[in-house]
Amino acid sequence: MPNPVANSVTIVSICYNSMAVLPAMLASVPDGVPVVLVDNASANGAALAELAERRGAVLIRNDENRGFGVACNQGAAIAKTDFILFLNPDAELQPGALEALLAAMARHPKASAMNPRISEADGRPYFKRRSVILPRADWMPRGWPAADCEVTVLSGAALFVRRRDFETVGGFDPHIFLYHEDDDLSLRLRSVCGPILFVRDAHVRHQGGSSTARSAKTAAFKAWHMGRSRVYAARKHGRANAFSSALRAALAQLISPGTLTSSRRRAKNWAFLRGVLSQR
């Protein structure tokens, strides 16, 4: 008997040297649910292609790393279902998660997008409650809300969205390579299409930072884009002192004791500063 969610949801996941975690994510997806993998020029492309074929997933391969948002847009462009779940390769759906998200969309027909209840690998709550592009008045309390509710920002780790609303706002901003692209999309969906929600009964476990291998080079690459994206997104949404606040944060990180004792942290913090300065 066909899975009733198979005709309603497409999973889109962005891969970049993610083979250590991707098999577990794919194994968590119910049979019959379409999956689109977008590979941003991973070094292990052959193994990824074999895994995608084995799972029956569509694989889009980029010759270069085009960034998270652009890759998400590529995957969404071939989705035919009413809903899309952007799911990190280091995340795993827990039983009934897709059904709970669909049920929540049926209960809240004006909602544009949702986050499930996301937990860290050790069970701790992961809940995105604030953003540099949100005023402090819109920051939310720590931890999972006690019940389904409207929220002010969503995490891209497991972002469930109506495809028509995603298309209405033009998808992810292609000028944001990495970081804050989910914040930006959240605010545009809220403003143009409808409320964004937290759904407690839908559970996703997130390994957190395991999508790519850890190294000083990788940390610096990500940090440069984090610095750049922070200033760009804050300016885009009219936040005061977008550059100066990011610069203060970068300098504070550089003089922290941990920067002196860790080569990886030094590489990361210097790269964050360079990313901020690139937006002067």
Same domain for 164 and 241, yes or no, is no
Nearest to 84 by CA among 57, 58, 102: 102
For 173, residues 6+ apart whose C-beta sits below 8 A from its C-beta are 69, 181, 184, 185, 236
pLDDT at 209: 55
Last residue of a domain, one of 206, 229, 261: 206
pTM: 0.94
Looking from the CA of 169 toward its CB, the CA atoms found within 13 Å total 24
C-alpha separations of 71 from 64, 88, 94, 112 in Å: 11, 12, 25, 21
- 89 part of a folded domain: yes
- 4 part of a folded domain: no
Same domain for 79 and 124, yes or no, is yes
pLDDT at 170: 98
Number of domains in the chain: 2
Same domain for 107 and 179, yes or no, is yes
pLDDT at 65: 96
Same domain for 117 and 70, yes or no, is yes
- 86 part of a folded domain: yes
Same domain for 114 and 153, yes or no, is yes
- 1 part of a folded domain: no
The answer to whether the CB of 148 falls within 8 A of the CB of 133 is no
Give me 57's structure tokens: 């997933």
Structural domain harbouring 41 = 9-206
Give me 237's structure tokens: 């949404």
Looking from the CA of 17 toward its CB, the CA atoms found within 13 Å total 10
C-alpha separations of 12 from 80, 123, 268 in Å: 12, 24, 28
Block means of pLDDT (10 residues each) for the chain, length 280 residues? 83 96 97 97 94 97 97 98 98 98 98 98 95 96 97 98 98 97 98 98 84 74 96 97 96 86 88 96
Instruction: Look up the CATH number of the domain holding residue 77.
Output: 3.90.550.10
Same domain for 267 and 161, yes or no, is no
Last residue of a domain, one of 168, 184, 206: 206
pLDDT at 217: 87
Same domain for 79 and 165, yes or no, is yes
- 211 part of a folded domain: no
- 154 part of a folded domain: yes
Same domain for 175 and 238, yes or no, is no
Same domain for 120 and 162, yes or no, is yes
- 58 part of a folded domain: yes
- 260 part of a folded domain: yes
Cα separation, 273 vs 119, in Å, equals: 30
Same domain for 29 and 149, yes or no, is yes
Give me 83's structure tokens: 């809903």
Same domain for 85 and 111, yes or no, is yes
Same domain for 200 and 79, yes or no, is yes
